[in-house]
């Protein structure tokens, strides 16, 4: 059954049954100070060292405070840190900390606690741990800490406002219980009795929270719903207040007067992890990776997957980035003959086998699989639960996989994709071109040199086919009548702080 038929059937079933979620209370009938969000994924561990960006952010933000707050437009505001300053060479930050803050178990927040949490993140094996590799934290006094870096990082504030500085209670930090029961100083308190891992996470307002302006609701519930049709039905019926949809479901939401928040954040494509050929020997040869790029009919994919909504690209940096090079978007035109020639030159005559986790939308697997098969690349799609897809890619088990990555600022993008410890450089690939650029940035982290080296890295990533983008995709977030929100810069969905009731 195709997607449009499934949506129609789902809506009919919804009208007949009245509720697609067993035991759920429709949000429109609930107290207007309740917020119910449809979440694509759930947290695997509440230990802050395991925090990640994107869809994970609002979940952690419910219970934990960062040192620095990032506003929807990407600017920074004080949070648990009241002020901060980087030294001239971007290798040391001094932060002044807020006083009088209590965790929900009664423990006090101070410099010693901040250091313990940062040390926990640095020593952890979380998806973003590489952003503070080798850093050391020192307590200056009860309200001051310093973070010393191995290499310059002019955007340290970004990482401290996203994943790197969620603060857990010192009583819970390091305990096994923290993985399943978060204890923070944040605006909401985890309701363990009402929560069920993989199904829903429930939080109630923290009555003693230090910043009342962040608490807009008495209760916040995240309902884990990996299926987009289910999310659409739940939104239309009022069972959830807001969620992410796609181009195939968005028109129905708009026709029902849901408010759309369009945010062009991500590119989608193939991430080639195994550039050394340890899992799949064929991928070691750059010509084989380039063959994959030429074998992809991007316009056909865009039409089939996004109803034509999006922007074709061959590069991972956004048009707004100083690293962007328009000429690079002409690197890999669809060319089956060229792809086969490159496979031959790359010692993969006739093609090879490639195993990747199946993308949640079967249309992608079918269309992309056929395109690659046309040049002799036979894809085996391993079934992975949608809620576990992101984590599966980061296990190091797969030579390549499909994903959407946000288009960050030059520094953030480089540290995400190109550095040995980059969060999406899963198998820690290196190359002399990348090494020289990174060494240059160690010596000169000025904006001028950063932009220059970002261009070098962008060209290398494109021409060496470390990543094979198809197109830039619109994030289609929708909210019902009772809540409003705001797009978050460089994030797929709004931050939790951005939601507020409309009074309707």
Tens digits of residue pLDDT in 425-453: 999 999 999 999 999 999 998 999 999 99
**Residue ranges of domains in the chain:** 3-258+480-501, 265-473
Across 306-392, the runs of DSSP E, i.e. the strands, are 311-312, 352-357, 377-382
% of residues, the chain, pLDDT over 70: 94
Tens digits of residue pLDDT in 479-499: 999 999 999 999 999 999 999
Is residue 258 scored above 80 in pLDDT?
Answer: yes
State the CB neighbour count (10 A cutoff) for residue 196. 12
Tell me, yes or no, if the two domains 3-258+480-501 and 265-473 fold the same way. no
pLDDT for residue 254: 96
Whole-angstrom Cα distance, residue 183 to residue 62?
11
pLDDT for residue 268: 97
SS3 at position 327: helix
Average pLDDT of the segment spanning 102-127: 97
pLDDT for residue 401: 98
Fold classification of 265-473 (topology level):
Dipeptide-binding Protein; domain 3 (3.10.105)
Whole-angstrom Cα distance, residue 487 to residue 259?
12
Hey, what long-range contacts does 419-424 have (CB within 8 A, 24 or more apart)? 419/130, 421/129, 421/130, 421/131, 421/133, 422/130, 423/52, 423/127, 423/128, 423/130, 423/131, 423/394, 424/271
8 Å CB contact between 355 and 369:
no
pLDDT for residue 161: 98
pLDDT band at 386, cuts 50/70/90?
Answer: confident
State the CB neighbour count (10 A cutoff) for residue 113. 24
- The β-bridge relationship of strands 76-78 and 81-86 is unpaired
pLDDT for residue 387: 82
Whole-angstrom Cα distance, residue 218 to residue 499?
13
Whole-angstrom Cα distance, residue 354 to residue 369?
10
8 Å CB contact between 91 and 156:
no
Tens digits of residue pLDDT in 3-49: 343 334 343 333 333 333 334 444 444 446 899 999 999 999 999 99
Q: Which one-letter DSSP state was computed for residue 361? A: S
pLDDT for residue 16: 33
% of residues, the chain, pLDDT over 90: 88
SS3 at position 459: helix
Average pLDDT of the segment spanning 150-162: 95
Whole-angstrom Cα distance, residue 287 to residue 282?
9
Which of 334, 309, 286, 333 has its CA nearest to residue 431?
286
Is residue 67 scored above 70 in pLDDT?
Answer: yes
Average pLDDT of the segment spanning 195-221: 97
pLDDT for residue 44: 93
Q: What are phi and psi of 9, to 5 degrees?
A: -65, -40
Average pLDDT of the segment spanning 64-80: 97
Residues with Cβ within 8 Å of residue 75, at least 6 apart in sequence: none
The CATH class given to the 3-258+480-501 domain equals alpha beta
Average pLDDT of the segment spanning 38-63: 96
Which of 368, 369, 377, 441 has its CA nearest to residue 411?
441
Across 98-234, the runs of DSSP E, i.e. the strands, are 136-141, 144-148, 188-190, 200-205, 219-224
Hey, what long-range contacts does 92-97 have (CB within 8 A, 24 or more apart)? 92/146, 92/147, 92/148, 92/149, 93/146, 93/147, 93/156, 93/157, 93/160, 94/140, 94/144, 94/145, 94/146, 95/67, 95/144, 95/145, 95/146, 95/147, 96/143, 96/144, 97/67, 97/143, 97/144, 97/145
Q: Which one-letter DSSP state was computed for residue 252? A: H
Average pLDDT of the segment spanning 234-252: 96
Q: What are phi and psi of 262, to 5 degrees?
A: -90, 125
**Residue 191 has which token pair?**
């309701």
């Amino acid at each position: 059954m195709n997607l449009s038929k499934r949506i129609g059937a789902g809506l009919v079933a919804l009208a007949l049954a009245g509720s697609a979620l067993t035991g759920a209370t429709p949000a429109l009938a609930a107290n207007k100070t309740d917020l119910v969000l449809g979440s694509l994924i759930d947290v695997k561990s509440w230990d802050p060292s395991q925090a990640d960006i994107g869809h994970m952010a609002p979940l952690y933000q419910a219970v934990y405070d960062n040192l620095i707050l990032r506003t929807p437009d990407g600017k920074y505001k004080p949070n648990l840190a009241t002020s901060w300053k980087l030294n001239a060479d971007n290798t040391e930050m001094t932060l002044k900390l807020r006083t009088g803050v209590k965790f929900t178990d009664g423990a006090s927040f101070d410099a010693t606690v901040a250091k313990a949490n940062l040390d926990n993140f640095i020593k952890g094996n979380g998806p973003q741990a590489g952003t503070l590799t080798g850093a050391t934290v020192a307590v200056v006094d009860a309200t001051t800490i310093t973070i010393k870096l191995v290499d310059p990082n002019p955007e340290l504030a970004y990482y401290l406002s996203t994943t790197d500085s969620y603060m857990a209670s010192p009583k819970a930090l390091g305990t096994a219980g923290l993985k399943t029961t978060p204890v923070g100083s944040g605006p909401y308190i985890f309701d363990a009795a009402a929560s069920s891992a993989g199904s829903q996470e429930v939080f109630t307002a923290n009555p003693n929270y230090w910043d009342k302006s962040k608490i807009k609701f008495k209760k916040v519930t995240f309902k884990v719903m990996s299926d987009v049709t289910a999310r659409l039905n739940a939104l239309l019926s009022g069972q959830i207040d807001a969620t992410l949809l796609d181009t195939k479901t968005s028109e129905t939401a708009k026709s029902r007067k849901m408010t759309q928040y369009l945010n062009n954040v991500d590119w989608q494509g193939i991430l080639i992890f195994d550039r050394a050929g340890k899992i799949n020997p064929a991928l070691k040869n750059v010509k084989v990776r380039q063959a994959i790029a030429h074998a992809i009919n991007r316009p056909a994919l865009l039409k089939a997957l996004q109803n034509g909504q999006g922007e074709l690209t061959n590069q991972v940096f956004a048009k707004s980035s100083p690293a962007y090079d328009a000429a690079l978007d002409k690197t890999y035109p669809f060319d089956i003959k060229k792809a086969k020639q490159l496979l031959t030159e790359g010692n993969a005559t006739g093609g090879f086998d490639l195993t990747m986790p199946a993308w949640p939308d079967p249309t992608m697997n079918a269309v992309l699989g056929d395109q690659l098969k046309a040049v002799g690349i036979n894809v085996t799609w391993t079934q992975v639960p949608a809620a576990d897809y992101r984590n599966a890619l980061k296990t190091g088990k797969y030579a390549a996989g499909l994903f959407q990555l946000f288009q960050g600022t030059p520094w953030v993008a480089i540290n995400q994709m190109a550095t040995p410890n980059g969060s999406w450089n899963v198998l820690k690939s290196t190359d002399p071109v990348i090494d020289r650029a990174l060494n240059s940035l160690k010596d000169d982290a000025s904006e001028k040199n950063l932009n220059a080296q970002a261009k070098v890295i962008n060209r290398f990533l494109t021409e060496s086919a470390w990543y094979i983008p198809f197109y830039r995709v619109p994030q289609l977030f929708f909210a019902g009548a009772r809540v409003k929100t705001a797009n978050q810069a460089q994030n797929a969905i709004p931050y939790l702080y951005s939601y507020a009731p409309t009074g309707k």
